[in-house]
Homo-oligomer: A and B are copies of this chain.
């Protein structure tokens, strides 16, 4: 808005004021930026793209501007800061206001901070989870058992979901999987899957493929299962603040809203993974299980090694390649990715009562080796709109060992960063192809990984960053 605009002045809007904008069609909450040049006339406002879309605005629309009604639920946040617990009612109001966009970033940060660490007790976590479920849309399924999985994350290349869904649905279980896109990571399951088939499905498309094949691997974004969570995650990431309670509410609310009855949650533990210690993993597991139980979701957890990337490829196309090698039982399939997928699928079989305890993994392997998983995966891809061939990158650069020795450390965060800088996931073919794993013996000049990019600029920039941050892979010399 113009700084000297009549509305701006009479309403008393300053820069960053929160305003409600209404057209005949819709009302949204937005933040004001003021301009003092003539890029806008007095009766004119400009909207950001997201505001434009949320408002479903059209050129020449007449809009009405008012101060946004204050987010009254902030009083509960203030109360929390003075020691009052969140009641179910408080959580409900806070999440509703957040979903409606009434909270500014500053207020979101205050809420996230008020929940930081272990500040939420069990009742508060349950209340928050319920509130998040209520605030979003829900999916319902015919079958009385709906399987789901989740990985707490932090491991580049850890793309077990498509393999697990193929194995589990091949055995006749229902597994309608909705996955996310990479926001701070070089690829989300949706990004990787999109190189193999369409993932941007409508609810009815999801329904039809699940009816026919028993499962899918779709993008969750088209189905807004926990909109408040999507808003909060952005702020949590910016603050790099972990809140146990928020994490539990985030995971469980999405599974419940997705209509799942059983969920297996993989918690990788490692210095540069999201969960760094076994203690924290155990607390997290307890909270996930107990909160799930209250909301009617049967949760089981497994702890896994979080010290290094999984598979060889990092980035959508390269991860897709690993998935295909595994499903097609190729000899050069990454064994760690294969093994993790079999463990998870096996556990899901046991949860679903398909096998007795400890027999799940062998059934999973049988289904994989028989080729049933591969055919099922192809069928699902067809059901989602047709199988695709992942694109390949134009630029490649081999990064080699600057000394001989044993690989003693891999920094997951730096590896992810490199893949992102190379262009992933925006450029699906970009990323890293790892040639080494922890405790591998390397010789001077041996390739550590290949970098792939779609533009020479991005490749160069990634190499510059690599020179400034050589610590991604550490090689210990003179090991006896």
Contacts and interface: CB of A to CB of B under 8 A. Distances in A.
Interface residues of A, number: 41
A451 to B, nearest CB: 13
Interface string A6-26: 100111100010000000000
A233 to B, nearest CB: 13
A113 interface: yes
Nearest to A458: B10
B12 A420 contact: yes
Interface stretch (A198-206, A237-245, A307-315, A407-415): A237-245
Complex copy number for this chain: 2
Nearest to A106: B109
A238 B113 contact: no
A16 B183 CA distance: 13
Contacts of A33: 48
Nearest to A184: B14
B12 A421 contact: yes
A69 interface: no
A82 B117 contact: yes
A81 B116 contact: yes
A423 B4 CA distance: 12
A114 interface: yes
Contacts of A241: 78, 81, 110
A461 interface: yes
Contact of A239 (B9, B12, B36, B107): B107
Interface of A: 6, 9-12, 16, 33, 36, 48-49, 74, 78, 81-82, 104-110, 112-114, 116-117, 119, 235, 238-241, 420-421, 423, 426, 455, 457-458, 460-461
